[in-house]
Amino acid sequence: MVLYITIDNLEFECVPHAEGFLLSGKPMGLDLIQVQPLQYHLIHAGTSYSIYVEQMNTAEKWIQLRINGLRVKAHIETETDRLLKTMGFSDLAKKGSAELRAPMPGLLLNVLVSEGDTVKKGDVIFILEAMKMENALKAMQDGIVKEICVKKGQTVEKNQLLIKW
């Protein structure tokens, strides 16, 4: 299956290959190990990378990673997604759900939404205290809150699922 990955307006074509995969036609040998859920270790060309999955949105087909401390957001499409777009059925390609995970361990000081609430991209959903600082966690897309997986006053771990919409 061919994947089209876009990062900062740069597009890469990713195709499975006998020794790993082809990235825009170039063979890419790599060693990828899952360390724990949502955490990976990658070695490519003698360089080591720590990868954390921070957020993902299956409806809009993107994933946000932290790679060696650098935040990277990638949009991912399949050949089917592209075909649906060319046929004018792009809304069919956007079906799915979104979720927000804790970017770091901390204490949830406030939960600002309830199940069934409508949220807009950028709305503050949670206030998370971490390292003696308050952090506003915001909605990454518009939607209706399906499930809140945590409660006010709860301690959360990094990458813990907080909310689905």
Q: Could you give the domains of the chain?
A: 1-96 (3.30.700.30), 97-165 (2.40.50.100)
Nearby residues of 160 by Cβ (< 8 Å), 6 or more positions away: 101, 102, 149, 150
pTM comes to 0.54
Please classify residue 79 by burial: count the beta carbons closer than 10 Å to its beta carbon, then call 0-12 exposed, 13-18 middle and 19+ buried: exposed
- For the segment 81-109, the average pLDDT, to the nearest whole number, is 75
Nearby residues of 49 by Cβ (< 8 Å), 6 or more positions away: 41, 42, 43, 67, 68
pLDDT of 91 strictly over 60: no
Predicted pLDDT of residue 75? 93
Predicted pLDDT of residue 80? 85
Predicted pLDDT of residue 20? 75
Predicted pLDDT of residue 67? 95
Predicted pLDDT of residue 93? 44
pLDDT in tens, 14-70: 888 777 788 888 888 888 899 998 999 998 888 999 999 998 887 788 999 999 999
pLDDT in tens, 125-161: 999 999 889 999 998 888 889 999 999 999 999 989 9
Confidence at 112, pLDDT banded by 50, 70, 90:
very high
